[in-house]
Amino acid sequence: MYKFIFVFFLHIISEQLIAQNINQVKLVHNEIGYYLLIDEEKFIVNGMNWDYVPIGTNTLNAKFWEKSDEVIRAGLASEMSLLKAMNVNAIRQYTGVPPRWIKYIYENYGIYTMLNHSFGRYGLLLNEEWVATTDYSQLDVQHQLLKEIEELVAEYKSTPGLLMYLLGNENNYGLFWSGSETEDFPEQQYAQAVVGEQRARPMYALMNKASQLIKKLDKNHPVAICNGDLMFIDIIAEECRDVDIFGTNSYRGVSFGDMFEVVSQKLKMPVLLTEFGSDAFDELCQEEHQSKQAYYMVENWREIYENVAGLGKAENALGGFTFQFSDGWWKYGFDDRVNERIHDLNASWSNGGYDFDYKVGKNNMNEEWFGICAKGPSEANGLYQLYPRAAYFALKIAHELNPYSQNITVASIKDHFGRIQIYEALLKSEKFRNQLVVEK
Question: DSSP letter string over 157-187?
Answer: TT-TTEEEEEE-SSHHHHTT-SSSS--PPPP
Evaluate whether 157 touches 220 at the Cβ level (below 8 Å).
yes
- Mean of the pLDDT values across residues 314-319? 98
Cα angle 288, 293, 295 (rounded to 5 degrees) comes to: 135
Whether 337 has a pLDDT exceeding 90, the answer reads no
> What are the pLDDT digits (tens) for 416-427?
999 999 999 999
Evaluate whether 134 touches 123 at the Cβ level (below 8 Å).
yes
With b for 16 or more beta-carbon neighbours within 10 A and e for fewer, the 146-160 pattern comes to: eebbeebbeebbbbe
Whether 339 has a pLDDT exceeding 90, the answer reads no
Q: Which residues contact 70 (CB under 8 A, 6 or more apart)?
A: none
Q: Residue length, the chain?
A: 440
Percent of the chain with pLDDT over 90: 85
pLDDT-based confidence at residue 194 (cuts at 50, 70, 90) = confident
Instruction: Report the CATH number that the domain containing residue 48 is assigned in CATH.
Output: 3.20.20.80
Helix spans in 183-339 (H): 188-190, 201-217, 233-239, 259-266, 290-306
Whether cis (ω within 30° of 0) applies to the bond prior to 324 is: yes
* Domain that includes residue 356, residue range: 2-439
Of the listed ranges 73-77, 113-117, 287-291, 334-338, the one predicted with least confidence? 334-338
- How many domains, in total, are found in the chain? 1
Pairwise CA distance, residues 155 & 266, whole Å: 34
pLDDT-based confidence at residue 4 (cuts at 50, 70, 90) = very low
pLDDT of residue 280: 98
pLDDT of residue 5: 45
> What are the pLDDT digits (tens) for 380-392?
999 999 999 999 9
DSSP symbol at 195: I
Q: List Cα–Cα distances, 350 to 361, 405, 410, in angstroms.
A: 8, 39, 32
Cα angle 247, 253, 258 (rounded to 5 degrees) comes to: 60
pLDDT of residue 186: 55
Whether 182 has a pLDDT exceeding 70, the answer reads no
* Best mean pLDDT range from 15-24, 141-150, 329-338: 141-150
